Structures are given as C-alpha cells and as structure tokens.
Amino acid sequence: MTKQTSPFHSISAVLALAAAMLAAPEALAQDKPATAEAVQGAKSPAVPAAVVQKPEAAPADDPAAEAYRKRLMELRVPRDKGMAEIQAVTEKIAARKKAIQAEDEKAGKLAAEIEALSKELADKETALTKIYDEDEGLKALNQELAAAHESFRQSQRNVRDEIARRRREHTQMIEKRQQEAAEAKAKAEAAKAAEAKAAGGAKPEAAK
C-alpha cells in the first residue's frame, strides 16, 4: 500500500527554506530575525552553507515536493552569492571607517566627541527625568491625568455594561414573546382538537 504524504509536509519544507532565504547572515547563524542593523553591522565571515537550514527531503511518492525542493535549491545559489557580496562590502565599509579615523586626526576626534556627547546627553536626560520626578506640581498633574484616564475607562465600562444589559433584555423579551406565541399556538391547537373530538362524538348520537 502506497504511503500518502500530507500536503502540509511539503509546504513546511518550502516555508522553512523560504524563511532561511530572507534572513541576514548573522540572523541565519543565530536563528534570529534579520534586521537592517544586522546586515549593516555584520563583521563575521560568511555563514557556511551547512549552517543554513535545508528543506526536508521530499518523500519518493511526492513529486511536487521534490520539484519545489529542486527549484528552491537553484534559487539558493544567487541568494548565497548576494549574501556573500553584502557581507564583503559591509566588512570593507567598516574597515574603511576605522582606517579613516586612524589616518585622519579630525575624523578620529569627531568620532570621540560624538561618543562623549552621546554619554553626556544620556546623563543629562537622566538628570532631567529626575527633576521631573521630583517636581510636586508635575506629580500633581500626573495624578490628575491618571485620575482622568481612570474616569474615562470607567465611563467606557459603563457604556459597555449598559449596551450588554440592553441586549440581554432585548434577547429575553424576544424569547418571552416566542414562548408566549408557542404557548398560545399550543392552546389553540388543543382547543381545536377538543372541538374536533367533541364534534366527532356528537355525530354518532345524532345518527341514533
């Protein structure tokens, strides 16, 4: 008996390779999503082909999956070449920046100043945040804002509760009317049946 292969088995193999094709070199090696920073800041050697996740081998009785696998393997060739080119150019850019800073005294000073300014800015932002946190007036305003948010949320809850209550009442009213209609119909049918039975019993008496 020939073993049937689930279509999801083939699709999972295709999706696994497609995801690997979209990842940056470092993301592939670390099993993380690719980002612009990962591509621009990549400094490690190109990821070996063995590291890249390969599609699952297609069963012998699944020619469609085998065709997909072969096609994706063909697409990997230019993909890997492009990744290697990106890696090489990124490394050259990083090396050139370091060389410029080493060769150009002004560039080196600017890089150092930027680093110092970044630290100074972070320290000043921390100090400013501390001033904000310690200001009584701002504290009062923040408390007022929090109270306003809570009042707004409570109003929203009240509206939702009222809508839900109205819907329940409407549903109950409809159910009650349907029940009353069903009971009235049953009574009418019972009365009609009683009349028919009474009429049927009166006919033999009249015949006598």
pLDDT digits (tens, 9 = 90+) for 145-172: 999 999 999 999 999 999 999 999 999 9
Task: Please list, in sequence order, all residues whose beta carbon lies within 8 angstroms of the beta carbon of residue 127, skipping any fewer than 6 positions away.
Answer: none
- pLDDT of 53 strictly over 70: no
Burial group, residue 17, by CB count within 10 angstroms (0-12, 13-18, 19+): buried
- At residue 58, the 3 state secondary structure works out as coil
- The string of pLDDT tens digits covering residues 132-143 is 888 888 889 889
- pLDDT of 201 strictly over 50: yes
Q: Where are the domains of the chain?
A: 7-103, 135-199
Whole-number Å distance between alpha carbons of 194 and 20: 80
- At residue 173, the 3 state secondary structure works out as helix
Encoded tokens for 208: 């006598």
Q: What is the pLDDT of residue 63?
A: 79
Q: What is the pLDDT of residue 205?
A: 57
Q: What is the pLDDT of residue 134?
A: 87
Encoded tokens for 22: 């979209």
Q: What is the pLDDT of residue 15?
A: 56
Q: How confident is the model at residue 207 (pLDDT cuts 50, 70, 90)?
A: low
- The string of pLDDT tens digits covering residues 105-122 is 888 888 889 999 999 999
- pLDDT of 185 strictly over 90: yes
**What does residue 57 show for φ and ψ, rounded to 5 degrees?**
-65, 135
Whole-number Å distance between alpha carbons of 174 and 183: 14
Whole-number Å distance between alpha carbons of 59 and 10: 9
Q: How wide is the angle at C-alpha 73 spanned by C-alphas 71 and 79, nearest 5°? A: 110
Whole-number Å distance between alpha carbons of 58 and 68: 9
Region of 56 on the Ramachandran plot (φ > 0 left; ψ -120 to 50 alpha; else beta): beta
Helix (H) or strand (E) holding 37, with range, is helix 36-40
